[in-house]
Amino acid sequence: MSRKLLQISLIILGLVPTITGALTMMGINDPLFADLHLPHSALLDSDLRFLGGVWLGLGITVLATVSYLEKYFAVYRILWGMIFLGGIGRLISMFVIGLPPVPFIGFTVLEIVGAPIFLYWHYQLVKNIDSASKEIE
C-alpha cells in the first residue's frame, strides 16, 4: 500500500468534488440538472449553491493536503466521515425516492464502501511511518 499510489488516488478523487462543486455552485442552472427543469426556487437554488460550496471546499482541502498525508490524517478522518455520511444520505434517497442515474449509484458505493477502505489505507500508511520513526529513535 504505497504512499504515492494513495496520493495519486486522492488527487483524482479530490478533483471530482472540486469540479462538480464548482458546477453545483451554479445552483439550479448546474448542467447536471438541465434536463430536470427545476423550479426557479430561491430556497432550492440557495441550498444547491451552499452544498456546491461545501463540496468544492472538500475537494480543495484534499488537493491542498495530499502532499502531507501523515500530518493531516485527522483532517482526512473527518473528510472521509463526511463523505460516508453523504453516501448514507444518498442510500436513504434510493429507498425513499428511487434510484438515481447509474453514475450516482457508483458514487454511493464509493462513498459507503470506499471511504472506510481509503481511511484504513491511510491509517496503515501513518502507522507504518510512525513505527519506522520509532525504530530510528
Q: Tell which residue, 90, 26, 6, 53, has the closest CA to residue 61.
A: 53
Establish how many alpha carbons lie within 13 A of residue 32's alpha carbon, considering only the half-sphere containing its beta carbon.
Answer: 15
Nearest Cα to Cα of residue 6 among 118, 111, 82:
118
Q: How far apart are CA 34 and CA 115, in angstroms?
A: 29
| pTM across the whole model | 0.86
Give the span between the Cα atoms of 79 and 84, in whole angstroms: 9
CA-to-CA distance for 65 and 84, rounded, in angstroms?
Answer: 19
Predicted pLDDT at 32? 86
Report the 10 Å Cβ neighbour count for 65: 17
pLDDT at position 129 is: 77
* CA distances, 87 to each of 69, 114, 115, 129 (Å): 23, 10, 9, 30
What is the rounded distance in angstroms from the CA atom of residue 13 to the CA atom of residue 20? Answer: 11
Instruction: Please state, in angstroms and as integers, the Cα–Cα distance from residue 101 to each residue in 30, 104, 108, following that order.
Output: 16, 6, 11
Query: 51-103: per-residue pLDDT in tens?
Result: 999 999 999 999 999 999 989 999 999 999 999 999 999 999 999 999 998 99
Query: Tens digit of pLDDT for each residue in 1-54?
Result: 688 999 999 999 999 999 999 999 999 999 988 888 889 999 999 999 999 999
Could you report how far apart the first and last alpha carbons of the chain are, in Å?
Answer: 24
pLDDT at 133: 62
pLDDT score recorded for residue 134: 63
